[in-house]
Structure 1
Amino acid sequence: MLAQGENPHPVRLVLPPHRPLSAAAQLGRKLFFDPALSGSGKLSCASCHRPDHAYAPANALSVQLGGGRLTRHGVRAVPSLEYLYRQQNFSIGPDNEENETVTLRQLVALGQQARRVRKTAHDTQAAAANLVPQGGLFWDGRVNTLQQQADGPLFNPLEMDGGNTAIVASKLEQAPYAHDFVQLFGAGVFRDPKLAVAEALFALSRYQIEDPSFHPFTSKYDAWLQGKARFTPAQMRGYLAFNDPKKGDCAACHLDQPTPDGLPPLFTDTQYEALGVPRNPAIPANRDPRYFDLGLCGPYRTDLAKQTQYCGMFLTPTLRNVATRHAFFHNGVYHTLKQVLDFYDFRDTAPRKIYPTAPDGRVEKFNDLPPQDRANVDRVDPPLNRKRGERPAMSARDMRDIIAFLKTLNDGDTTPRGMPARVARSR
C-alpha cells in the first residue's frame, strides 16, 4: 500500500468542531484587522499574520518593519499564529500533573541531573519525556496564553508600537466597535483602561481559538492519514525520508503521527533546540558584534538568563504550511526549504557551505552564538551527529522528496480524492 501511495493504517481524526463564533471572538476578529490600534495607524495583527499566508508574513523579509513610522526592524522572524490552540504551558519536561506542583527552578535543577534520551523519529515517546524546555509561546516561550501573546506585539516599539495602556484604551473607546465592548463587558469597561485593554486581548485570544482558519487541518496529509488521499511517488519517498533516522529524521522533533486519542499531529514536539544557525546580516541589530539573541536566555525572556545551559535554544515550530513560508528559523536567515535542508546536511559535514570564513581561513561555525554558549548546540540527535568530511545524511534526491512531502502539509488541498476510506481506530 505504501508503494501505491496509500496509508496502510488510516485513522479517524478528532478535528476541532466548527461552531459559530462567540460574541467575544467576533469582536476579536474586528480587533485583529484594525490598524488604528498601532502607533502608525497602518499596522494591524493581520499585517504580519496574513490569513491568506497561513497567518504568517506574506513577504520574504527576515524580520518585519514596525514602529511609529514603519521604519524599525524587528529582531526575530515572525512565526505563524496557526495551530497554537493546543500549545501547552512552558515547562522543563512534559507539562503534566506531576509538574504542576513543582516550581520552574526545581524543574531546571531536575533537568540538569536527568539523562537525556537521543531524539529519533523511531523513538519519539521516549524523547518526549526528556526534562528539557518545552511549551509556551513566542520563540522563547515567555508567555503561556494567546491573550498574553497578543499583548507583546501591541506594545512592542519595534512592532505595532501602541504606546501605553491609556492610549490603546482611548482608541478602543473611539473605535466603531466600542459598543461591542459595552455590550460584552459592561457600561463601565472604559472607565478602567487596564480592564478595557485586557478584555481586548481576551477577545483576540478567543478569535484565534474559535475561528477554524487558525487550525483548519485541510492538508493532503490530513486526508492521507484518514485514507482519503494517495501520495505521489516523490511525496511517499519524502515521507519515508522524513521519518528515517538515517536520513532526515525530521519527525524526531516534528511529530507527524496522531495522538493516542486521535488528535491530528501538530508537527512539533514543542521542545527547544540550539541548532547553531548562522548569523543573519540582514537584521540591523546584528551589526553590533556584541549583540546576540540567546532565545531562552534573553534578551526578551529574563527568568532563565542565568541558566546558561539553555542559551541559544529556540522553540521548534510547526511544519504545517511550512512550504508557504518565506523566512525560516528564529532569525529568518534562510528563505527556501532547500536552504534549510542544506543546513541540516552540511552544518557539520561541510561547514564552509554554511558559515562565513574568517580572514585566517577558519570557518566561523555557530557564529550567531557567543563562544561560551556554543557547547549548547545539538550535536547528538540525527542528522546533527555527523562529523566533518562524513557523507551527508540526505542526498539531493532525498531533499527534493522531503520538500515534496512538506508541500502535502499545506492547508486548502484540492487534490481529487476518489479513494475509499478504510478508516481504522487511531493507533
Structure 2
Amino acid sequence: MRSAQGAASITLAAFLSATPVGAASDAGSKTTAPGDADLSAVATIGKALFSDPKLSASGQMSCASCHDPGNHFAPSNARPVQLGGAYLDQPGLRAVPSLTYKRQTPPFTFGMLDPTSEAGEAAPQVVAQQGAGAKGAAGASASTQPAPQKTAGTSAAASPVPRGGLFWDGRADTLQEQALAVLFTHFEMAEPDRATLAATLRARYGDRLAQLFGEAVRDDDKMLIDEAAFALSRYQTEAVEFHPYTSKYDAFLAGETQLSPAEARGRALFDDPKKGNCAACHLDTRSADGRPPQFTDYEYEALGVPRNPAIPANADPHYIDLGLCGPLRHDTISTQPGNCGMFKTPSLRNVATRHVFFHNGVYTSLQQVLRFYAKRDSDPRAIYPTRNGKVARFDDLPTRYQGNIDRTDTPFGRKPGEGDALTEAEQADIIAFLETLTDGYAPPEE
C-alpha cells in the first residue's frame, strides 16, 4: 500500500454562460496516445480512472474534463477557472494547469540552491522541509530577505527559495497526492468522503485492483483509494502523451530542423539576460545528463499580475489569493509573510495552445502576456486599473506583501518614461519561438 499525503464582480450565471473555446485545431497541437500495450497493468487501470466521470460526486466529471488529452492535458475552454462540485456549478479558484511534463517535478523544499550545479539541476539544500523555521545562512528570517537576482542559465540564489511541488502552490509532492486532493476538493470532483469513493472504486475496479494488489484491497478503503491514486500517477508517468518531447524545438535540439529567422530571433531574446531574460526561470537547455529542457526551474515568483474580475471569488474585495500563503495551502510555509503572493513557475511547453495564462487566468493570449512583461514597470497605466485617477499597481496583492514582487530581474525594473523592456516586434519574435514548443511537430516533407 502506498500512502498519500474592490474588484469588479461577476455573477455565477454570467460565469456559467462563458462560451467554451474548442481545443486547438492545428495538427501540430495533437498528440497520439499509445495503446494500452505500452503501459503497465497498473497504468492501464490509471488510464481508465483518468477518464471515468463516475469517480466524481456529480457523476459527470473526470480528470479528463479539465485535463483534455486533445489539448495537451489542459482545459480546452477559455474560462479562467473551471467548474466542478456535486452539481458542476462550483467555480475553482485558480487556472487549471496542464498535466504534461510533471513527472520530473521535485518534491517541495524551501532551502538554499547549490550555485555550482548545472542550470535546472540545482538540488535544494533543505533548510526546513515545509518551511518550519526556515532561516537564511546568516540566521535571518526568509521573509525579510530580498528575492535573489536571476540571470539566464544560472541559479545564483543567495537566500532560501521555495522550489518544487505540484499545483500552483506546491502543496502536493507527488502525482498520487495531487490526484487524491482533486478527488476530494469541493469545487473539483467533490467526493464527500473516503467511504463513498471507496464504494465506487470497489464496484468498478475492485476485480482489477485485486488482481494486482491482492484480495485484501477490496476490504480496506484506504488501500483501495491509495492504489487507485497510485494507478493514476503511474498512467501520467508512463504514458508518452504526458511527456512526448515532439515539439519543433526538440527537433531543432536534435539537429533535425532549423528555426525560422523570427523563431531564432525570439530564442535569442528569450535567452538574453538584458532583454527577455525568460530563460532565467524557464530553462531552455539540456540538462547535464542530456535530458530535454523542461522550461521551468520549479521555483516560485511574485509577479504582480493584475486581479482578474472574471473569477467569481474575486467578487469579494476581501478575498485574496496569496499563493504559498493560501487559501489552499495550510502549513508553516503559508504563515511566512515573505512567501505571500508567490506562485510556481510553470513549464512553457505547449504554452501556445493554452487559452488562459498565469495562476488567475487574467490573460487570454500570449500577446497580452508579453505586453505585461514589457510594460508592467515602464507603463503601469497600460496594465493596471485606474482608481480615482491613480494607477492601482499590483492590485491583486495587499500592500504589506508587495515587497515580495520581483522588481529587479529583467525585463522588470524599468521606470516610467524609460521605454518598454521589449518592442512590439521583439515580443512577436518571442511568441514565434514559444510556438516552437508545441508538441506534435512534423518536419516538412522535402
TM-score in terms of structure 2 length: 0.85
* Separation in structure 2 between the aligned mates of residue 53 and residue 392 of structure 1, nearest angstrom: 33
Q: Is the 8 A contact 2:109 2:129 kept in 1?
A: no
Aligned mate of 2:248, from 220, 226, 234: 220
Q: Is the aligned partner of 1:238 residue 2:277?
A: no
**Root-mean-square deviation (Å):** 1.9
Aligned mate of 2:370, from 326, 341, 352: 341
Aligned mate of 2:440, from 377, 398, 412: 412
Displacement, 1:182?
1.2
SS of equivalent residue, structure 1 residue 92: strand
* Separation in structure 1 between the aligned mates of residue 176 and residue 68 of structure 2, nearest angstrom: 19
SS of equivalent residue, structure 1 residue 289: coil
Displacement, 1:204?
0.4
* Separation in structure 1 between the aligned mates of residue 147 and residue 186 of structure 2, nearest angstrom: 39
Aligned mate of 1:290, from 303, 318, 329: 318
Matching residue of 1:38: 56
Give the letter for the 2:197 counterpart: V
Displacement, 1:350?
0.7
Q: Is the 8 A contact 1:246 1:393 kept in 2?
A: no
Q: Is the aligned partner of 1:207 residue 2:235?
A: yes
Displacement, 1:125?
3.6
Aligned mate of 2:131, from 100, 104, 108: 104
* Separation in structure 2 between the aligned mates of residue 63 and residue 142 of structure 1, nearest angstrom: 19
Matches within 5 A, 1:319-398: 319-358=348-387, 360-398=388-426
Q: Is the 8 A contact 2:127 2:160 kept in 1?
A: no
Matching residue of 1:124: 154
Matches within 5 A, 1:1-150: 20-93=38-111, 94=113, 96=123, 98-99=125-126, 104-110=131-137, 112=142, 117-121=148-152, 123-127=153-157, 131-150=160-179
Q: Is the 8 A contact 2:110 2:127 kept in 1?
A: no
Give the 4+ runs in structure 1 shifted more than 2 A. 93-117, 415-418
Deviation larger for 207-216 or 105-114? 105-114
Flag structure 1 segments of 5+ consecutive residues without an equivalent: 1-17, 419-427
- After superposition, the Cα gap between the structure-2 partners of 1:345 and 1:115, relative to the gap in structure 1 and judged at 3 Å, is closer
Displacement, 1:115?
7.4
Percentage of identical aligned residues: 53
* Separation in structure 1 between the aligned mates of residue 187 and residue 256 of structure 2, nearest angstrom: 45
- After superposition, the Cα gap between the structure-2 partners of 1:305 and 1:47, relative to the gap in structure 1 and judged at 3 Å, is same
Cα shift readout 1:126-185 (whole Å, capped 9, x = no counterpart): 34x75211111100001110000001111111011122111011111111x331111011
SS of equivalent residue, structure 1 residue 126: coil
* Separation in structure 2 between the aligned mates of residue 64 and residue 101 of structure 1, nearest angstrom: 34
* Separation in structure 2 between the aligned mates of residue 125 and residue 340 of structure 1, nearest angstrom: 24
Displacement, 1:104?
3.4
Displacement, 1:50?
0.8
Q: Is the 8 A contact 2:58 2:189 kept in 1?
A: yes
- After superposition, the Cα gap between the structure-2 partners of 1:226 and 1:411, relative to the gap in structure 1 and judged at 3 Å, is same
* Separation in structure 2 between the aligned mates of residue 114 and residue 297 of structure 1, nearest angstrom: 17
* Separation in structure 1 between the aligned mates of residue 400 and residue 146 of structure 2, nearest angstrom: 22
- After superposition, the Cα gap between the structure-2 partners of 1:269 and 1:19, relative to the gap in structure 1 and judged at 3 Å, is farther
Flag structure 2 segments of 5+ consecutive residues without an equivalent: 1-35, 114-121
* Separation in structure 2 between the aligned mates of residue 396 and residue 286 of structure 1, nearest angstrom: 31
Matching residue of 1:229: 257
Displacement, 1:97?
7.7
Matches within 5 A, 1:176-215: 177-215=205-243
- After superposition, the Cα gap between the structure-2 partners of 1:275 and 1:103, relative to the gap in structure 1 and judged at 3 Å, is closer
Displacement, 1:388?
1.7
Matching residue of 1:314: 343
- Matched positions, count: 397
